[in-house]
Amino acid sequence: MGKLEGKTALIFGVANDHSIAWGIAQAFHREGAKLAFSYAMPSLEKRVRPLAESLGSDFIELCDVTDDAQLDAVFAKAKSQLGTIDILVHAIAFANREDLMGRFVDTSREGFLLAHDISVYSLVALANRARVLMPNGGSIMTLTYYGSQKVAPKYNVMGVAKAALEATTRYLAWDLGPENIRVNAISAGPIRTLAASGISGFRDYLKQFATIAPLHRNVTIDQVGEVAAFLAGDGSSAITGEVMYVDNGFNIMGLANEDRE
Ligand code: NAP
């Protein structure tokens, strides 16, 4: 029997079959979870619907997380169609392309607020609506990146947003603990996805990462999915408010040694 048998997961952030959320959805499916999906823009439906259907899902709803009315609508639909949920996945981030190149000091007020609204506040907005559908407790998870802790050139405003996202994870874990709802973040190494293609010099991230990380390889969406399935299941029932690194050990390194044999 799968680890997630009898559980229902609502997943935000599948854009295509390269998305981290897609790796997570596949892992949940292997472990027996029932899946529901939300996607950001009407134009994505043609890609997301066949993916969702291939995992037996018939809950595929549009939701731009900057719009409270759309958020309310998707959770009203979840209540009527799914009843309760056990797992919420937040795999959403956005910043203007011009804010992911050049210097952080040039970030506009508008760009700063947009990145934080979509990439950080949306976790609060989703968690507050999801908890109502989690009468038996649950597991909420988000995706972050090490650029929150140390400077990753060009990651800029997104690094600042990820720092806020990690703090948000801890404050939500405190608030929702009494409801037996756990909130954790997965800090994934760089993976080539649509969102990542907006970061200038991302190819360098991948190359440097595999050189520096103790395991000398890049991370896959399947590996992130396996950790997400662990965080979603009862095996992690004592873990909340954590940032879990799925990065082949990159974050432990202080200096690179490019000559290692
Ligand atoms: P992705 O496939 O492009 O997923 C990002 C998702 O966010 C897309 O589905 C995107 O939809 C959605 N989104 C953006 N604005 C939205 C809005 N207003 N409302 C609802 N959804 C919105 O890229 P990904 O790399 O898998 O990203 C998933 C998460 O992992 C992000 O939080 C990212 O920062 C994080 N992460 C990524 C990496 C990496 O190297 N790829 C590493 C660590 C953490 P649209 O396509 O319509 O914009």
- Give the residue whose CA is nearest to atom 22 of ligand 1: 40
Q: Report the candidate in 143, 165, 146, 140 with the shortest Cα–Cα distance to residue 236.
A: 140
145 is catalytic: yes
Q: Report the candidate in 126, 148, 152, 164 with the shortest Cα–Cα distance to residue 40.
A: 126
pTM confidence score? 0.98
- Give the residue whose CA is nearest to atom 15 of ligand 1: 94
- Give the residue whose CA is nearest to atom 40 of ligand 1: 190
Contact 124, 68 (CB under 8 A): no
Place of tokens 């804010």: 99
- Give the residue whose CA is nearest to atom 28 of ligand 1: 91
Burial group, residue 221, by CB count within 10 angstroms (0-12, 13-18, 19+): buried
Predicted local confidence at residue 204, as pLDDT: 87
Q: Which atom of ligand 1 is nearest to the CA of 205?
A: 40
Predicted local confidence at residue 260, as pLDDT: 76
Tell me the pLDDT tens digit for each residue of 93-117. Answer: 999 999 999 999 999 999 999 999 9
According to CATH, the superfamily of the domain at 8-245 is NAD(P)-binding Rossmann-like Domain (3.40.50.720)
Tell me the pLDDT tens digit for each residue of 221-258. Answer: 999 999 999 999 999 999 999 999 999 999 999 998 87
Query: What residue segments make up the domains of the chain, in order of their start?
Result: 8-245
Q: Rounded CA gap, 9 and 36, in Å?
A: 6
Q: Report the candidate in 100, 127, 130 with the shortest Cα–Cα distance to residue 115.
A: 100
Which residue is catalytic, options 145, 146, 205, 245?
145
Residue by residue, pLDDT tens for the chain (261 residues) are 899 999 999 999 999 999 999 999 999 999 999 999 999 999 999 999 999 999 999 999 999 999 999 999 999 999 999 999 999 999 999 999 999 999 999 999 999 999 999 999 999 999 999 999 999 999 999 999 999 999 999 999 999 999 999 999 999 999 999 999 999 999 999 999 999 988 888 888 899 999 999 999 999 999 999 999 999 999 999 999 999 999 999 999 999 887 776
Predicted local confidence at residue 261, as pLDDT: 66
Which residue is catalytic, options 39, 155, 205, 245?
155
Name, in order, each residue with C-beta under 8 angstroms of 138's C-beta and a sequence gap of 6 or more: 85, 86, 87, 88, 130, 131, 180, 181, 182
CA of 193 to the centre of ligand 1 (A): 8
Ligand 1 is surrounded, with C-beta below 6 A, by: 13-15, 19-21, 40-41, 44, 64-66, 91-94, 118, 143-145, 188, 190-191, 193-196
Per-residue CA distances from 95 to 10, 31, 117, 142, 228 (Å): 24, 33, 10, 17, 24
State whether residue 72 is helix, strand or coil. helix
